[in-house]
Structure 1
Amino acid sequence: MHTTVKHTIWLLALTLPSAQLTAQKKADRKTLGNLQAHITYLASDKLEGRLTGSPGEQLAAGYISAQMKQAGLAPKGENGYLQTFPVNEGKTIAPASSLTINNNALTPIEQYIPLPFSAEKSAKGEVMPAVNEPDNIWLLNVKDFEADPHTDPLEVYKQAAAEAAKAGATGVVFYNGPESAADVHKWLSRESTPLTIPVMWVTDGISKTMENAEEVKVSMNVAFGTSKRTGTNVIGFLDNKAPATIIIGAHFDHLGKGEDHNSLSPNDKSIYNGADDNASGTAALIELARMLKSAHFNKYNFLFTAFSGEELGLFGSKYLADHSPIDLGTVDYMINMDMIGRLDTSKGLQIGGIGTSPAWPELVKSVTPAGLKLTLDSSGTGPSDHTSFYLKNVPVLFFFTGSHADYHKSSDDADRINYNGEMVVLKMVYDIVEKTNGMTKLAFTKTKDKQMGTSARFSVTLGIMPDYTWQKNGVHVDAVTEGKPAYKAGLAVNDIIIRLGEHPVTNLEAYMQALASFKKGDKTTVLVMRGAQEKKFNIQF
């Protein structure tokens, strides 16, 4: 399966003198053994899938730190090699929350969920489902609502609860809602201004109790906690006293046991070891640190960065780019390695970011082994950590050997890695560094945006780069592409898109779904929050 790549390495090796060839083979054997050792440990069950903020993530961070120290890198985090960052995931249902129906205490999430705009208050009363009285709890049947299907359902609930509060209700319980409990539970991650009364949503079984009862005795109390966890980046620095620095990065976090609901086997609760995603890139990062330490490419310093929080939305790399231990203005370029352990010569190697510097196409071509197929993507953006640095006007390259059947599944294990193939990628990165060591600073060029994956199919683009780490309502604009509709209309960085035409934009998926309803030539409006002001712009796709 991998004979072409192996043959390529052998042909290149023939050009070396025999003594040098023997040393090269020995060095390669050492690197291959190290790659296997790193991946075997990082993708072991002991680390329990390296979920951001978990003990397994900390074990991985400790291992990477130790390897950086052994390679001779100086610590460049805030605490040794470590840089911590917050991941704010919104509200949780606090233990003090309760809902009792006819003296039966209900179970949170399984039977009821406080809505994110609820006041943290209590209320009680004896209620007839069809009668809404002032100074009492209201039971509202969602089947009776007449809502525009394009309206955000959470806003429908909030509007109904606000009207009930205005009419004197002391609390609201919604029943017969069409959503699943899982969907409603996700709403707690959205920021919403609280009303003056407690508000809850109940599941199907409790809804039937409401429907069939002449009178319902209700006691409710809403209390929220905050879901925050701390992620950890690992940062090592090779200081050659040079004016320019190269950043080499890879994320080391993965899915744990699927707790964040981002696996492709949602019913599989076993450990997601993430050997390819991304123990492979992390192992290459460690080995490149060791190799570059002894290479003496003194034109550059090197910042080696192992990111966490990538699987949640580039949290770690975005934090590092915003809180860099070095001046990003001195950075010549950034190379990101994400999933480089499954090189298949029939499919080849994918490299993104080719358009971020005019120097890249020729450089990449010059280091590519004969016979290795390349798939090139000009965009500086995409669903991995190079995006965070491209948005700071840093040229980037993204190495990726492609998706596969084990992606985001518990079968992504170390025994499925193509270690010889990973060596090919690692050597290409090394060769790029070697070649740029004799060049002037690489120029930066902006590229067309690469949209994130979505279930929606769309034929138009607004021309904005969304902030993948944004956890609040709407879509936060991280960048605006010159010449695109958003740029022509006057949208700006840090605007928050809350509506596209008649479609509420509550998150990135809603934004993509809204885009899918338009075609080239259509005219519409975009509603944004700019600071505390609401602004509307006319758009033509």
Structure 2
Amino acid sequence: MEPGLPALSVDFKKSTTVKHTTCLLALLLPFTTQLNAQKKADRKTLGNLQTHITYLASDKLEGRRTGTPGEQLAAEYIASQMKLAGLSPAGDSGYLQTFLVSEGKLIATTSHLTVNRSTLTPGEQFIPLPFSAQKSAKGDVLPDVNEPDNIWLFNVKDFEMSPHADPLEIYRQNAREAAKAGATGVIFYNGTETPKEVQKWLSIPVEPLKIPVMWVNSEISKVLDDAEDLRIDMQVDFASGRRTGTNVVGHIDNKAASTIVIGAHFDHLGHGEDHNSLAPNDQTIHHGADDNASGTAALLELARQLKASKLEKYNYLFVAFSGEELGLFGSKYFTEHSTIPPSSFNYMINMDMIGRLDPAKGLEVAGIGTSPVWPALLQQTIPASIRTTYDSSGTGPSDHTSFYLKNVPVLFFFTGTHSDYHKPSDEAAKINYDGELTVLKVVYELVEKTNSMEKLAFTKTRDKQTSTSARFTVTLGIMPDYTWQKPGVKVDGVSDNKPASKAGILANDVIIELGPHAIVNLEDYMQALSGFKKGDKTTVKVRREDSEKVFDIQF
């Protein structure tokens, strides 16, 4: 050892430990980097979800009712986010695709009812019935005295109506008989319906009578009950109930033969003007954070992520639908007017109300019977920690139904209903953002897994019953066209081996009678079904093009 140089000392045990630690760190570093990157990506997604939902459910958009300025603001926002993500426009005008919604009659501002010089409020105190003529009538009326060439008053309490009777049909029959007897107008009072229920009747297409006909609420009914004589001035006018809805469509074109469709509806209830609110008499803004700003936000995030991915075996079409709350108007229009034919769609995933994942209720996934690959794929993809309920049906009250009816495999993701459903209280602050991120990851992973597979096979499934006030134990085996605006129930699809298919009923037939029951609308059809049980035989009358046909069926 030379003088002046420091002594060199080596601790072999410590050196080995350092070496092993360095090797372990080298092995862990990529994993740690990947984990940190994933956490950063999740934070970005969570932030974006919150931004999207907060805006879409804000007061500024006034509930995103189809055809309103609030819906247009939402459509513009969604289009701007699609553009920001790098999607190509795939609508009729840029990203936008417009369609007409026919909503029956509206009470025109010229309609009025005056009773003893008191002018009543349309839509609340009085409502013209859908079969009313657009005419006026005046008269000095004595209660309980119905004279020719005067207005007739009908006390509904005097009617003998069975619990299963259709009140609108009873009113129509009485008004028609009154018109034949010379009445110049008819007013029904003491009916058990609410104004909200009567307003819904205006969407029912019926032939008009030759005289004006009105319904009045319980408040005005008391006035008519107590009066000795009445001076009545009535005028009925209807406005056209048509408005324009807007879908928003973005495309990732990977030059593939088939396309994966991801959809969510963005419309909601506005102030409850369409009478589909579950908050009685509450006309404040229905925010629709879960229904369905949640699904729309996930749609936008999946678009951003898939655009940045290398999953390029298929093209992707992202569609934000409007008109869903009115009866799947937007998705039905899209499947019939898409620039990309539905026959080239690989499958469709629909996200509707995915913002309230609750461990106790879990996740609901419908449509797993629409392709033989779904059950195994879902089992591989959904974490075992998430309680999951499955439904095989490809039909239901959301937009995937429109694709299933075009023979496209579908999946429907839903985290369940809750006490804020269709109420103003469905607000952004109540969204479970971590839960929504979990659902979004499931959908992304499904898309990822199918990128290594060929185009999925389609299989038909059983029908899912439509919700109604009627309770029934049999089914005809048809899928109604929810957008049909004329009398009867139009058949949009027929299930194999069900009474309808066995009898020879076809898609596009219009059911106008079921047994002894006349069918004017979907509720009539459901009420008629409730009167039958398994094994019963009856007939179905349909209108097919320009002819009528009667089929024998057995439930």
TM-score, normalised to structure 2's length?
Answer: 0.88
Aligned twin of 1:182 = 196
What's the offset of the Cα at 1:312?
A: 1.9
Q: Helix, strand or coil: the match of 1:256?
A: coil
Q: Helix, strand or coil: the match of 1:64?
A: helix
Aligned twin of 2:388 = 374
Alignment equivalent of 2:521, drawn from 500, 507, 511: 507
Alignment equivalent of 2:481, drawn from 467, 470, 475: 467
Q: Are 1:273 and 2:263 an aligned pair?
A: no
Give a deviation string over 1:255-274, Cα, whole Å, max 9, x none.
22333332332244443322
Alignment equivalent of 1:434, drawn from 448, 459, 466: 448
Alignment equivalent of 2:501, drawn from 483, 487, 501: 487
What's the offset of the Cα at 1:535?
A: 3.6
Aligned twin of 2:104 = 90
What's the offset of the Cα at 1:208?
A: 5.1
For 1:365, give the aligned amino acid.
Answer: Q
For 2:325, give the aligned amino acid.
Answer: E
Gaps of 5+ in 1: 1-13
Aligned twin of 2:398 = 384
Give a deviation string over 1:155-207, Cα, whole Å, max 9, x none.
22222322333333333333444433333332211111112222233344544
Asked if 2 retains the 8 angstrom alpha-carbon contact of 1:77 and 1:235, the reply is: yes
Asked if 2 retains the 8 angstrom alpha-carbon contact of 1:353 and 1:377, the reply is: yes
For 2:422 and 2:259, the matched residues in 1 are separated by 33
Aligned twin of 2:64 = 50
For 2:29 and 2:206, the matched residues in 1 are separated by 66
What's the offset of the Cα at 1:147?
A: 5.3
Q: 1:419 to 1:164 in 2, by over 3 A?
A: closer
Taking the TM superposition and a 5 Å limit, the aligned residue runs for 1:194-205 are 194-205=208-219
Aligned twin of 2:439 = 425
Asked if 1 retains the 8 angstrom alpha-carbon contact of 2:204 and 2:521, the reply is: no
Deviates more, 1:201-210 or 1:85-94: 201-210
Q: 1:337 to 1:18 in 2, by over 3 A?
A: same
Q: 1:414 to 1:184 in 2, by over 3 A?
A: closer
Aligned twin of 2:124 = 110
Alignment equivalent of 1:37, drawn from 37, 47, 51: 51
Q: 1:113 to 1:539 in 2, by over 3 A?
A: same
For 2:435, give the aligned amino acid.
Answer: G
What's the offset of the Cα at 1:534?
A: 4.1
What's the offset of the Cα at 1:115?
A: 1.9
What's the offset of the Cα at 1:236?
A: 0.6
Q: Are 1:248 and 2:290 an aligned pair?
A: no
Q: Helix, strand or coil: the match of 1:354?
A: coil
Aligned twin of 1:332 = 346
What's the offset of the Cα at 1:137?
A: 3.7
Give a deviation string over 1:444-501, Cα, whole Å, max 9, x none.
1110011122343322212111222334443322111111112222222223334433
For 1:272 and 1:400, the matched residues in 2 are separated by 20
Q: 1:48 to 1:30 in 2, by over 3 A?
A: same
What's the offset of the Cα at 1:418?
A: 2.4
Alignment equivalent of 1:343, drawn from 347, 357, 360: 357
TM-score, normalised to structure 1's length?
Answer: 0.90
Q: Helix, strand or coil: the match of 2:326?
A: coil
Q: Helix, strand or coil: the match of 1:189?
A: coil
For 1:24 and 1:211, the matched residues in 2 are separated by 71
Aligned twin of 2:21 = none
**Residues paired across the two proteins, number:** 528
Asked if 2 retains the 8 angstrom alpha-carbon contact of 1:189 and 1:472, the reply is: no
Q: Helix, strand or coil: the match of 1:298?
A: coil
Aligned twin of 1:10 = none
What's the offset of the Cα at 1:349?
A: 1.9
For 1:356, give the aligned amino acid.
Answer: T
Taking the TM superposition and a 5 Å limit, the aligned residue runs for 1:2-401 are 17-146=31-160, 150-207=164-221, 210=224, 216-401=230-415
Q: 1:166 to 1:250 in 2, by over 3 A?
A: same
What's the offset of the Cα at 1:433?
A: 1.6
What's the offset of the Cα at 1:302?
A: 0.9
For 1:367 and 1:502, the matched residues in 2 are separated by 50
Q: Once superposed, what is the RMSD of the aligned Cα atoms?
A: 2.6
What's the offset of the Cα at 1:81?
A: 1.0
Give a deviation string over 1:206-263, Cα, whole Å, max 9, x none.
4455556665444332211122222211111111121111110011122223333323
For 1:304 and 1:262, the matched residues in 2 are separated by 27
Asked if 1 retains the 8 angstrom alpha-carbon contact of 2:200 and 2:275, the reply is: no
Asked if 1 retains the 8 angstrom alpha-carbon contact of 2:146 and 2:152, the reply is: yes
What's the offset of the Cα at 1:398?
A: 0.9
Asked if 2 retains the 8 angstrom alpha-carbon contact of 1:150 and 1:504, the reply is: no
For 1:117, give the aligned amino acid.
Answer: F
For 1:418 and 1:211, the matched residues in 2 are separated by 53
For 2:423 and 2:132, the matched residues in 1 are separated by 37
Deviates more, 1:88-97 or 1:233-242: 88-97
Identity %: 69
Asked if 2 retains the 8 angstrom alpha-carbon contact of 1:449 and 1:481, the reply is: yes
Q: Helix, strand or coil: the match of 1:311?
A: helix
What's the offset of the Cα at 1:150?
A: 4.0
Q: 1:414 to 1:167 in 2, by over 3 A?
A: closer
Asked if 2 retains the 8 angstrom alpha-carbon contact of 1:117 and 1:158, the reply is: yes
For 1:467, give the aligned amino acid.
Answer: D
Q: 1:296 to 1:124 in 2, by over 3 A?
A: same
Q: 1:458 to 1:144 in 2, by over 3 A?
A: closer
Give a deviation string over 1:2-25, Cα, whole Å, max 9, x none.
xxxxxxxxxxxx997444333333
